[in-house]
Structure 1
Amino acid sequence: MASLPQAPPGPGRPGPVPRPAPPAIARVRSRRRPSGEPPPLPRALNASGRFWLGLSGVVLVVWAVVVVTGTITVFDVVDTRILQAVSELRSPGLTEVAEAAGILATDEAIHVLWLSNLVLLAVFRRWRHLFVWLGVGLLVANVGAFLAITLQRPRPFEVEIIGDWSSFSMPSLPMTVLAAFLLSTVYALVPPGRWRTRGKWAVGGLLAITAASRIYLAQDHPTGILAGIVLGVAVPLAAFRLLTPNAVYPVRYTRARPAHLDVSGERGEAIVRALHDQLGVLATEVVPFGLSGSGGSTPLKISVKAAPAAEGEESCIFGKLYAATHVRSDRWYKLGRTLLYGRLEDEKPFHTVRRLVQYEDYILRLLSDAGLPVPHPLGIVEITPEREYLLVTEFISGAKEAGEAEIDDSVIDQGLSVVRRMWDIGMAHRDIKPANLLVRTGTLFVIDSAFAEVRPSPWRQAVDLANMMLVLALRTDAQRVYRRARLQFSDEEIAEAFAATRGLTMPTQLRRMLRQQGRDLHADFLRLLPFRLPPVRIQRWTWRRFGLTLVTLAAVVVVGAMSVTVLGSPL
């Protein structure tokens, strides 16, 4: 191997090219939201949700009054008169029709509905809906059984029961569970809009047919069926609207990533209004931007009104929309990495979306103050308290990702200087990939500092150097990047970087682009090194990993046991 010249790092090493100031943006006076005024995008239960919750409250109050006062006989008399009147209409033909119409309330049909939903939600990887579905099913089944056992109302009397039945009858447990499962199916599997509306009408029709069948067969009291339907509708309606709102967890059958939220309609209007009120920025358009390189937020290009001195010019700012779903995804992602790999530095999750946005804004300001080529931070905008926030920065217009831009020696030096400068100030970016390195007219910019770390371990800093060299070599070659790297880093530092870097520590986009090119740049860099260091061990067992593994396995067993109990218990 030919010897490459090496200059020790020092004051004469190449530095980043100064970047121009951000475009002028028109500002108006911001407005403080008065106490009690709803946020730009409030949580919505809607009138129907409030109606069903209120109705379920009425059912619970009546149930409590009946338990305390013992006035169930009043309902018994009314129900008996209705059932006796219906029984006079019985005929062999109608009985066969009623038995067929009530098949959805049988144990077998409800179990099939339960399992088919679990399988479909798992196949479509709609985990949030799956967990809510499980919670709704377990809650409705157990609460319904508790109410029935507490009241201990017998089956209809003074009328012949010609259908199957078991246990007590207030509320009707089969109708309660069926209503909850059918409505949960609509909210978890049917996209919002026209098809979901049709699905709700279909559920209403199926419940009406099943209720008529059970009244005809005298399997339940009419009031027990009514109470069961109210409880079965109210719980999933409230749960799915509050825990999986369409704006945050849309049901869709496209290849779009779940992290990318829809910014049209109410959310788009809320963003424009919040920018005006909180930052004094006059936005004219909000559109998604660069979605292919983002998996943990919704990146936006926001057109804004330019300052009077720059009238006629296009002015844009950049926004990263974070929601509670991103925090929960990050939590599950880091839990999985801990279970699979053990102790990886700074893998503790954020607990609120507000803290996540605050941290990224803080890191961005640290990098900016240190002179690194990052977008100018412009502030944080609250869309929905504790649920959605927008991080606003300068928009690097006219730039290309490092995987598509022309990379010359100047850009290579700038990229390596970024890593060296972060080492000097005690920071690590931790997500160096083509989508996070932008090049515009020969100037390199570093974006997306969400994973950056203050005072990282040497291992984290070494991984940054190797990933930077790999990204820069995508459009050039390993020897050229290595030659420029030796002007700012020693052979020991470069060898350490590639000893610390392999599959797990490379961002997914970088690994994918390396596979697409068919080049093993990692091996090319190793061949250029005058010596190699032993690979840094990543797999580590700690007490924390051991405890989390046990807790996770126990949770899986408990959920499985509860599901089996629900499936095996008669309704």
Structure 2
Amino acid sequence: MASPPHAVPEADPVRRPGPPGIQRVRRRRRPSGEPPPLPRHLNASGRWWLGLSAAVFAGWAAVVVTDEVPLVDLADTRVLQAIATLRSPGLTTVAEAAGVLATPPVVHGLWLTNLAVLVVFRRWHHLFTWVGVALVVVNLGSLATLLLRRPRPFEVELLGSWSGYAMPSLPVTVLSAFLVSTVYALVPAGRSRTIGKWVVVGLLAVTVASRLYLAQDHPSGIVAGVVLGVATPLAAFRLMTPNDVHPVRYRRGRPAHLDVSGARGEAIVRALQDQLGLLATEVQPFHLEGSGGSTPLRITVKAEDGEGFVFGKLYAATHVRSDRWFKLARTLLYGGLEDEKPFHTVRRLVQYEDYVLRLFTDSGLPVPQPMGIVEITPEREYLLVTEFLLGAQEIGDADIDDAVVDQGLAVVRRMWDIGVAHRDVKPANVLVRDGTLYLIDSAFAEIRPSPWRQAVDLANMMLVLALRTDAARVHARARVRFSDEEIAEAFAATRGMTMPTQLRRCLRADSRDLHADFLGLLPYRLPPVRMQRWSWRRVGLSLLALLGLVLAGLVAAGLLDSPL
């Protein structure tokens, strides 16, 4: 059969009905100074502990400037002398056992336990915050002891081991920080965390009583250590990993999927009304298994005929960081396969997807109609709102005919015509409703892509369509819109690493070898497109990644060898 000519007419736009009428109200502009729908805050206790920290630093400065160090030493000594009068052989044994929490083996074990749990459950934000808190507390405490150079208690017999200077008490500072970090990183918010906090209070009280009884620390040094050790992780975890954004949970699920109940759900409802005029009544996660880079939502809203639905994609700063790491990993593994420039803010990510979606809509591509962007927390969380394709099925669950196959191929031809590539053609992103095919999730779309990227889109679409039909049928329909050379180039450019994960999984589950079937149907084959691309940028990034791993190892070793 002769190959069709290269001059193929542009794909006709798909005609489809518009979305149902959604009831809207007057939008409200948030006045200057009013907090966003979902603000981040320290709460009263967090501000109180930070105030105590400031008071500790101010106290140190005042004592040094006014030369009142002897007065503080005298007061601490009188307290320790009074406690020493209660000593007995039995109490000494109990005190030595009670002070074991502040010893290096226990503190290091606490650190390694947290590390293991957070890695196993892939709670990276809590892990990075934990490491940051540990570095700040250990180094700040060590620096303070070296600057103040306060000696250990005198005129009181010191029982047990000790080392270094005594202001603040470094063992108490580090233990306080590690215990509070453990509660915020490992214990779910609510009653369990409240109980955990009281457990920490009890453990610190026992440790402090032991160290005062053994005269290992001054009372003022212990107070300063507790304040610094509690305030630092409290502020860090509440600001960097607030429970509304990064809840502690142990059920299975992807880290990209955010909890939309509670405060976040209420913030979404309020923001939809203020910014888009939509009266939302319910916000629920939707089709989470098909999305790994955002939180898809089905939002029930009031409509002209009762109620309707809109679709939302919730993006947070965590998704931007994940996208950055994903693109860095692809660059290290494969080189310059495509545009691997990361987004630097979540606002830019959402704006780009909204722009691409509007470009697709204006070009006649069958995509959900965009309805706007909603700001949940400035520079941290945004919601992209589109039409909800009610009744649509993922193509893997739908019955399709030649008309649907033609629509899928026409979508690729149309994207070629307008100079874009989808970059994520997989069953979860190809929907069918009433015989009409829709392409969704344009987050990874690329404008003016390379010919290689456009060819990959064609091959992936043909594989997706063949999952519900067969290779021969799809190949025959493809030759109507694409030349043999274009189809051969598509399969020369496509292999495992260029296919989305879900598509690879579906192909492995199918009893047929569809990729081999397509290759057998080609009148000729083109040489495989080389995947590995080397550049100075890739070499430099590889060296930086190796250096980062070495530094991470040194940091971990430094925490284990930190002075206590």
Tell me how far apart the structure 2 counterparts of residues 519 and 146 of structure 1 sit (CA, whole Å): 66
Question: Superposed, which structure 2 residues align to 1:30-429 within 5 Å?
Answer: 30-307=27-304, 311-312=305-306, 314-429=307-422
Structure 2 unmatched ranges of 5 or more: none
Q: 1:487 aligns with which of 480, 490, 509?
A: 480
Kindly state the Cα deviation for residue 269 of structure 1 after the two structures are TM-superposed. Answer: 0.9
Tell me how far apart the structure 2 counterparts of residues 336 and 249 of structure 1 sit (CA, whole Å): 24
**Residue 503 (1) aligns with residue 500 (2):** no
TM-score using structure 2 length: 0.98
Deviation per CA, 1:262-318, whole angstroms, max 9, x where unpaired?
Answer: 1111111111111111111111111111111001001111111113xxx24x41111
Residue of structure 2 in register with 1:550 after alignment = 543
Q: Is the 8 A contact 1:25 1:306 kept in 2?
A: yes
SS of residue paired to 1:315: strand
Q: Cα–Cα, structure 1 residues 148 and 476, in superposed 2: closer, same or farther, change >3 Å?
A: same
Q: Is the 8 A contact 1:215 1:221 kept in 2?
A: yes
Kindly state the Cα deviation for residue 462 of structure 1 after the two structures are TM-superposed. Answer: 0.3
Q: Which amino acid aligns with 1:250?
A: P
Q: Which amino acid aligns with 2:118?
A: L
Question: Superposed, which structure 2 residues align to 1:426-465 within 5 Å?
Answer: 426-465=419-458
Tell me how far apart the structure 2 counterparts of residues 294 and 174 of structure 1 sit (CA, whole Å): 45
Deviation per CA, 1:334-354, whole angstroms, max 9, x where unpaired?
Answer: 111111111121111100000
Q: Is the 8 A contact 2:10 2:417 kept in 1?
A: no
Q: Could you list the structure 1 runs, at least 4 aligned residues long, displaced by more than 3 angstroms after superposition.
A: 5-17
TM-score using structure 1 length: 0.97
Kindly state the Cα deviation for residue 46 of structure 1 after the two structures are TM-superposed. Answer: 1.3
Kindly state the Cα deviation for residue 559 of structure 1 after the two structures are TM-superposed. Answer: 2.6
Q: Is the 8 A contact 1:8 1:486 kept in 2?
A: no
Tell me how far apart the structure 1 counterparts of residues 413 and 132 of structure 2 sit (CA, whole Å): 50
Q: Which amino acid aligns with 1:295?
A: G
SS of residue paired to 2:468: coil
SS of residue paired to 1:102: helix
SS of residue paired to 1:305: strand
Q: Cα–Cα, structure 1 residues 569 and 13, in superposed 2: closer, same or farther, change >3 Å?
A: closer
SS of residue paired to 2:480: coil
Q: Which amino acid aligns with 2:182?
A: T
Q: Is the 8 A contact 2:160 2:214 kept in 1?
A: yes
The answer to which of 113-122 and 524-533 deviates more is 113-122
Kindly state the Cα deviation for residue 520 of structure 1 after the two structures are TM-superposed. Answer: 1.9
Tell me how far apart the structure 2 counterparts of residues 8 and 47 of structure 1 sit (CA, whole Å): 72
Deviation per CA, 1:64-118, whole angstroms, max 9, x where unpaired?
Answer: 2223332222221211111111101000110010000000101111111122222
Deviation per CA, 1:395-424, whole angstroms, max 9, x where unpaired?
Answer: 100000011111110000000000000000
Q: Is the 8 A contact 1:303 1:317 kept in 2?
A: yes
Q: Which amino acid aligns with 2:120?
A: V
Deviation per CA, 1:411-468, whole angstroms, max 9, x where unpaired?
Answer: 0000000000000011100010111111000000111100101100000100000000
Q: Which amino acid aligns with 1:140?
A: V
Deviation per CA, 1:44-71, whole angstroms, max 9, x where unpaired?
Answer: 2111111111111111111122233322
Tell me how far apart the structure 2 counterparts of residues 57 and 515 of structure 1 sit (CA, whole Å): 60
Q: Cα–Cα, structure 1 residues 96 and 267, in superposed 2: closer, same or farther, change >3 Å?
A: same
The answer to which of 186-195 and 483-492 deviates more is 186-195
Q: Is the 8 A contact 1:402 1:439 kept in 2?
A: yes
Q: Which amino acid aligns with 1:329?
A: S
Kindly state the Cα deviation for residue 120 of structure 1 after the two structures are TM-superposed. Answer: 2.1
Tell me how far apart the structure 2 counterparts of residues 552 and 483 of structure 1 sit (CA, whole Å): 47
Q: Which amino acid aligns with 2:563?
A: P
Q: Which amino acid aligns with 1:225?
A: I
Kindly state the Cα deviation for residue 482 of structure 1 after the two structures are TM-superposed. Answer: 0.5
The answer to which of 508-517 and 90-99 deviates more is 508-517
Q: Cα–Cα, structure 1 residues 76 and 13, in superposed 2: closer, same or farther, change >3 Å?
A: closer
Q: Cα–Cα, structure 1 residues 79 and 533, in superposed 2: closer, same or farther, change >3 Å?
A: same
**Residue 23 (1) aligns with residue 20 (2):** yes
Tell me how far apart the structure 2 counterparts of residues 254 and 511 of structure 1 sit (CA, whole Å): 26
Deviation per CA, 1:206-250, whole angstroms, max 9, x where unpaired?
Answer: 011000000000000011011101101111111111111112222
Q: 1:534 aligns with which of 527, 539, 560?
A: 527
Q: Is the 8 A contact 2:10 2:414 kept in 1?
A: no
Tell me how far apart the structure 1 counterparts of residues 291 and 512 of structure 2 sit (CA, whole Å): 24
Q: Is the 8 A contact 1:287 1:302 kept in 2?
A: yes
Cα-Cα RMSD: 1.4
Q: Which amino acid aligns with 1:465?
A: L
Q: Is the 8 A contact 2:11 2:413 kept in 1?
A: no
Tell me how far apart the structure 2 counterparts of residues 338 and 184 of structure 1 sit (CA, whole Å): 34
Q: Is the 8 A contact 1:83 1:159 kept in 2?
A: yes
Structure 1 unmatched ranges of 5 or more: none
Tell me how far apart the structure 2 counterparts of residues 251 and 517 of structure 1 sit (CA, whole Å): 37
Tell me how far apart the structure 2 counterparts of residues 499 and 245 of structure 1 sit (CA, whole Å): 47
Q: Is the 8 A contact 1:14 1:414 kept in 2?
A: no
Q: Is the 8 A contact 1:149 1:168 kept in 2?
A: yes
Q: Which amino acid aligns with 1:425?
A: I
Tell me how far apart the structure 2 counterparts of residues 136 and 519 of structure 1 sit (CA, whole Å): 53
Kindly state the Cα deviation for residue 499 of structure 1 after the two structures are TM-superposed. Answer: 0.7
Q: Cα–Cα, structure 1 residues 141 and 291, in superposed 2: closer, same or farther, change >3 Å?
A: same
SS of residue paired to 2:303: coil
Q: Is the 8 A contact 1:430 1:452 kept in 2?
A: yes
Alignment length, in residue pairs? 564
Tell me how far apart the structure 1 counterparts of residues 38 and 386 of structure 2 sit (CA, whole Å): 21
SS of residue paired to 2:523: coil
Kindly state the Cα deviation for residue 518 of structure 1 after the two structures are TM-superposed. Answer: 3.1
Residue of structure 1 in register with 2:470 after alignment = 477
SS of residue paired to 2:21: coil
Q: Is the 8 A contact 2:144 2:167 kept in 1?
A: yes
